[in-house]
Structure 1
Amino acid sequence: MRSLLWGRGVSALGDGLWFTIWALYFTRILGLSPVTVGAGMAVASAVGMAAAVPLGAFADRAGTRSVLVVVTLVRAAAMAGYPAVRGTWSFLAVTILFTALATGGTAVRTALVTGLVADPACRMRVLAQQRVAQHVGYAVGAGLGALVLTADAPWAYTLAIAGNVVSFLVLAGTTLLVPAPAAVPARRSGARAVLGDRPYLCVAGVTAVLSLCWAMLSAGLPLWLSGSTRLPLGLGGIVVVLSSVGIAVFQVPFARFGRTTTRAARTAVVSGVLLAASCLLLATTSGGAGAGAVTVVVLAAVLHVVGELSYVAANWGLSVRLMREEAKGAYQGASEAATATVQMVGPGVFTLAIGGLGAWGWVLVAGVFLVAVAPIPRLARWAARTREPAAMLGDRAGDAS
């Protein structure tokens, strides 16, 4: 698992570097219009969501380790192809290949971890460690990206792309160092199994709504600070740093709240309540300025990071504990597709809500969080009743401990 941890950290460094520079690279260096870039990214994201379950199901049959290595190498090749882009169609081809495999790749990685680690508590801890490594890598990569943007020269962007390609190759190499998980005989197609599993899909769908918390920081807060308060815009950056530090320090301890289905469902409810409270606090800073308003924003940020930590732990607990062991990839693909769908519409939700309704937009989003989490415990119990008896007994034993 240490090999996967190092590989995830290095690849996240490349991700952080790329996510910091891609918008300017596409428009300033490749000369593409913002409309072309936006449309291309939207199409690639849609393809990724549609491909997540089939890719996960294929990984269940062909082996999660080998499929993850191939996906990583294909994404490396796609990244290396960006300097050769010469127009809309070549941009679309490379972007679909690179971006569309991201969602399915995340699902296959989770399936690989759960295939290597059987104990539920250890699974949650390893997944949390992976996320910590991811955020540390993102932070370092974003810092390197800032240097690239400062240079703002073709050679700097090309060097950054080469570095990202190397990060993918490191991830592929470290993945090859882990053993291949033992195959679990499947009774039917993994894709058909998960797409016919209504209880799991319902749980995954409503839990994914909590991933709006990410767009809340990236889109909602900057819009709010700039348009509805007299607070410094740099406060948004401080909040992001606070969130990143909180995740790095507390994600592993929070993983214990997702060890069982019942505990994960309760944690999801707590997450929704905390995120809603954070939204309502931000609504009170309308027109605000000075130390008092800053204090309220920081308090809202603290509630947000605890809500995010709770959401991630709950999502792991529900998506992993309720999946069919013989179709790990397909089930994780469905979970990731649900999350990717919410992430795709998230910026638009906050742009319309905060930009159009002001403080009432925060109230509306708070209501969305509360409505989403209300049925999760009941849906989780429904899903648990449809699992194998042995899994249900293990879940009750875990709750008792």
Structure 2
Amino acid sequence: MITTGIGKRLRGGAESGPQRALIISSFVSRVGNGLFNTAAVLYFTLVVHLPAAQVGAGLTIAGLCGLAAGVPAGNLADRYGPRVVSLIAQAVLALTMASFVLIDSWLAFTLVATLDRLAATAGGAAGGALVARVGGERPAAFRARLRTYVNLGVVVGTLGAAVALQIDTRAAYTALILANAASFALAGLIVLIGVPNYRPLPKPEAHRQWSVLADRPYMSFVALYSAMGLQYQTVSLLLPIWLAAHTDAPRWTVAAVYAVNSGVCVLLQSRLGSKVETPHQGGRALRRAGLLFLVSCPLMALTADVPVWVASALAVLAVCLHSIGEVWESSGGYALGFGLAPDHAQGQYQGLLGIGFNAGQALAPLILTGAVLALGHTGWFLLALFFAALGMAGPPVAAWAERTRPAPPAENTASPRAEAER
């Protein structure tokens, strides 16, 4: 089995048992995501026979409603333990995903999709808190390794979905959906068996369920990181449309840029991400990312101005640079998102970070296709400057946030986390 192979590879590293279990669980669930996400729109339009506009409207409603679960679910994770909330979310995701094979109307689709997004948001908040607890002495290295296997899982799932797309039958699409549902169930089972049920950490008297909203430095970081998240759909959405509409590059170029993006992230995430441990290093990582995006976006625009054979090579080069920037951006986001959050409120803080990031991803198609694409070359250059400005803001935001954090406990004093782990 593929999970067994991964387990053997991980045993050669320095991961603890809980870290190994969480990595395998995340890989399994992302294989399922890759299977489903690749074919989801085709299933709903060609098999369920919903108009594309209705599918888009239902997904938008579900996505917006799902944002509401972030902070409340994070608070529950802080109060009852992150594993409990994470397991409940995984169970709901398995049920809602399986329910997609039964829907036959837009209303049913929208209701199930909304429950799915609520559970996904809750799972993200609890999962972030769980990652913080499992991270150990070198959390950045663990999170970088985790993201490597997450990316690899999506690639494996996407390749599996390609087979079902080629078969193009209702049974094939149904198999993808049920496989994704099973992946959530299996991922939850792995966490149940392999990850401890961490006790909630003691909270100071000043803690409130919405304390994160009063943390202005963290709120500023969330806004910055959410805006910078537009870079993900620059490669997955904007560039493919640009290549198809403004260049004569062969259609395989689109597949090539996807493969290059995934490959670079898988190969470099652990190597680069493990070097970004502290918020200070996270701010510098965001700055590096912004500068790489400053170069990659104009190169993507220039694919419309060169011969066909050059356009494909230029697109691949641009995506290579952009993908390195993505690795730095995600590593910086991890270091700041986890490093600035108090241990006792990781769930609440990760919930807000998830809300901000998901809101940015929901707005990304409108911004990228409605503004950037409409402006052509000018839009690309403005997007590059936007990313660079956000990246340059990373170090000062990190420095501001670090100045407002409480001083770490003395070395001879046990921290609340250490006491709770005993």
User: Is residue 322–residue 384 contact of structure 1 (8 Å, CA) maintained in 2?
Assistant: yes
User: Is residue 265–residue 376 contact of structure 1 (8 Å, CA) maintained in 2?
Assistant: yes
Report the Cα offset of residue 20 of structure 1: 0.9
How far, CA to CA, are the matches of 1:24 and 1:207 in structure 2?
Answer: 31
- Match of 2:100, SS? helix
Report the Cα offset of residue 392 of structure 1: 12
Deviates more, 1:153-162 or 1:268-277: 153-162
How far, CA to CA, are the matches of 2:387 and 2:410 in structure 1?
Answer: 28
Letter in 2 for 1:8: S
Superposition pairs of residues 64-79 of structure 1, within 5 angstroms: 64-79=82-97
- In structure 2, the residue matched to 1:399 is none
Letter in 1 for 2:209: A
Superposition pairs of residues 188-267 of structure 1, within 5 angstroms: 188=206, 191-267=209-285
User: Is residue 49–residue 337 contact of structure 1 (8 Å, CA) maintained in 2?
Assistant: yes
How far, CA to CA, are the matches of 2:359 and 2:297 in structure 1?
Answer: 21
In structure 2, the CA distance between the partners of 1:257 and 1:336, relative to structure 1 (3 Å rule), is: farther
User: Is residue 207–residue 373 contact of structure 1 (8 Å, CA) maintained in 2?
Assistant: no
| 1:310 and 2:328 are equivalent in the alignment | yes
- Match of 2:229, SS? helix
How far, CA to CA, are the matches of 1:241 and 1:391 in structure 2?
Answer: 45
- In structure 2, the residue matched to 1:396 is none
Match of 1:160 among 173, 176, 179: 176
Normalised TM-score (structure 2): 0.89
Report the Cα offset of residue 190 of structure 1: 5.3
Deviates more, 1:72-81 or 1:106-115: 106-115
In structure 2, the CA distance between the partners of 1:282 and 1:96, relative to structure 1 (3 Å rule), is: same
- Match of 1:108, SS? helix
User: Is residue 46–residue 100 contact of structure 1 (8 Å, CA) maintained in 2?
Assistant: no
| 1:179 and 2:196 are equivalent in the alignment | yes
| 1:45 and 2:60 are equivalent in the alignment | no
Report the Cα offset of residue 374 of structure 1: 2.6
Report the Cα offset of residue 234 of structure 1: 1.6
- Match of 1:245, SS? helix
Superposition pairs of residues 367-382 of structure 1, within 5 angstroms: 367-382=385-400
Superposed CA deviations along residues 219-260 of structure 1, whole A, max 9, x for unmatched, are 111111112222122212111111111111110111234201
Report the Cα offset of residue 2 of structure 1: 1.2
Report the Cα offset of residue 354 of structure 1: 4.3
What are structure 2's unaligned runs of at least 5 residues?
Answer: 1-18, 412-422
How far, CA to CA, are the matches of 2:156 and 2:313 in structure 1?
Answer: 28
Superposition pairs of residues 1-400 of structure 1, within 5 angstroms: 1-119=19-137, 122-177=138-193, 178-187=195-204, 188=206, 191-390=209-408
Report the Cα offset of residue 391 of structure 1: 7.3
- Match of 1:286, SS? helix
Tell me the percent identity: 31
User: Is residue 298–residue 384 contact of structure 2 (8 Å, CA) maintained in 1?
Assistant: yes
How far, CA to CA, are the matches of 1:214 and 1:191 in structure 2?
Answer: 31
How far, CA to CA, are the matches of 2:237 and 2:409 in structure 1?
Answer: 40
Normalised TM-score (structure 1): 0.93
Report the Cα offset of residue 154 of structure 1: 1.4
Report the Cα offset of residue 101 of structure 1: 2.2
How far, CA to CA, are the matches of 1:74 and 1:246 in structure 2?
Answer: 33
Report the Cα offset of residue 206 of structure 1: 0.6
Report the Cα offset of residue 114 of structure 1: 1.0
Deviates more, 1:365-374 or 1:241-250: 365-374
How far, CA to CA, are the matches of 1:85 and 1:115 in structure 2?
Answer: 38
User: Is residue 261–residue 321 contact of structure 1 (8 Å, CA) maintained in 2?
Assistant: yes
Report the Cα offset of residue 66 of structure 1: 0.9
How far, CA to CA, are the matches of 2:240 and 2:71 in structure 1?
Answer: 34
How far, CA to CA, are the matches of 2:241 and 2:171 in structure 1?
Answer: 33
Aligned positions, number: 391
Superposed CA deviations along residues 246-302 of structure 1, whole A, max 9, x for unmatched, are 111110111234201111101101101101210011222223223333332222111
How far, CA to CA, are the matches of 1:90 and 1:328 in structure 2?
Answer: 34
Letter in 2 for 1:245: G
Report the Cα offset of residue 350 of structure 1: 1.7
Superposed CA deviations along residues 134-171 of structure 1, whole A, max 9, x for unmatched, are 11111111112111112221111222222111111111
What are structure 1's unaligned runs of at least 5 residues?
Answer: 394-401
- In structure 1, the residue matched to 2:420 is none
Letter in 1 for 2:395: P
Letter in 2 for 1:165: A
Report the Cα offset of residue 87 of structure 1: 1.3
Superposed CA deviations along residues 193-234 of structure 1, whole A, max 9, x for unmatched, are 111111101012112222111101111111111122221222
Letter in 2 for 1:225: L
User: Is residue 55–residue 333 contact of structure 1 (8 Å, CA) maintained in 2?
Assistant: yes
Report the Cα offset of residue 375 of structure 1: 2.2
User: Is residue 336–residue 398 contact of structure 2 (8 Å, CA) maintained in 1?
Assistant: yes
How far, CA to CA, are the matches of 1:131 and 1:194 in structure 2?
Answer: 25
User: Is residue 223–residue 354 contact of structure 1 (8 Å, CA) maintained in 2?
Assistant: no
User: Is residue 257–residue 264 contact of structure 1 (8 Å, CA) maintained in 2?
Assistant: no
Superposed CA deviations along residues 64-97 of structure 1, whole A, max 9, x for unmatched, are 0011000000010001111221212211111001
User: Is residue 115–residue 182 contact of structure 1 (8 Å, CA) maintained in 2?
Assistant: no
- Match of 1:84, SS? coil
